[in-house]
Amino acid sequence: MTTVSLAGSLLDRAKVAKLGKGIHDNVVITKVDLEERKNKGTPIKKMLYITYATIDPDTKKKKNEVEVAWWTLDPTSEFFFSNLREFCVQLNGILSCYMTEDEAFTALEKAFDGFGFTSVADIEAYKWKKKDVDTIQDNLKALFGAAIAPFVGTNIAPIRLKLSTDSKGENVAYSSYGVFVEPMTVTETRLKFSDAELKNHSKAGNVVSAPRTASAALAL
């Protein structure tokens, strides 16, 4: 390895500052981890870990970076169907930054194969068991992972990303509802924080001002 390439490698691996809440321009996906994680042998109740980084649009060097994941779906929750629907909507929203909406839909459409559903109402009325939920989660993760793979890296066209916080206002998290990304080609963004999100932000003493620029909601 030459001195120049070695220096470049070291710089690329250098730790960058953590990306916090806000609406961020020039964001790329640098890693997608589909594997289940455990803490002392017990599965963590999170899934599909995606690392996002802001980059310098000219040099492609990373400026800030953060890993974000979704909560695993719980069939015993009264919000199960809503959470499942939003997971699908948000995955579709990410893919739609890199392909047409039809292509994004097609990429995920086989996730429910084998269940015999003919409508969204069938999915909502289904008596979900944990093994069925695990199957759907695994299907969605695998399909998304395959579809997003060509678009991971600092040389991919950047997107705009909205990062919120958890209910305590402490840790970076996805929005509970709606699409949180859009292509940078969208000049008048529709990404914005809800009143509930702003309230969560303020719990940690971090009040977020109205964003400059928010994404159209997608229907499953």
E-only strand ranges, the chain = 17-18, 22-33, 38-39, 42-43, 46-55, 62-71, 159-165, 172-173, 181-183
Residue 211 has pLDDT above 80, yes or no: no
d(CA 191, CA 185): 13
% the chain with pLDDT above 70:
85
For the whole model, what pTM was predicted? 0.84
Angle between helix 101-108 and 130-148 (nearest 10):
140
Instruction: Render pLDDT for 110-169 as a digit per residue (tens, 0 to 9).
Output: 999 999 999 999 999 999 999 999 999 999 999 999 999 999 999 999 999 999 988 777
Residue 189 has pLDDT above 70, yes or no: yes
How many Cβ atoms sit within 10 Å of the Cβ of residue 125?
A: 11
Alpha helices by DSSP H, listed for 52-129, are 80-95, 101-108, 120-125
Residue 26 has pLDDT above 50, yes or no: yes
Instruction: Report the greatest alpha carbon distance in the chain.
Output: 62
Are 173 and 52 within 8 A, CB to CB? no
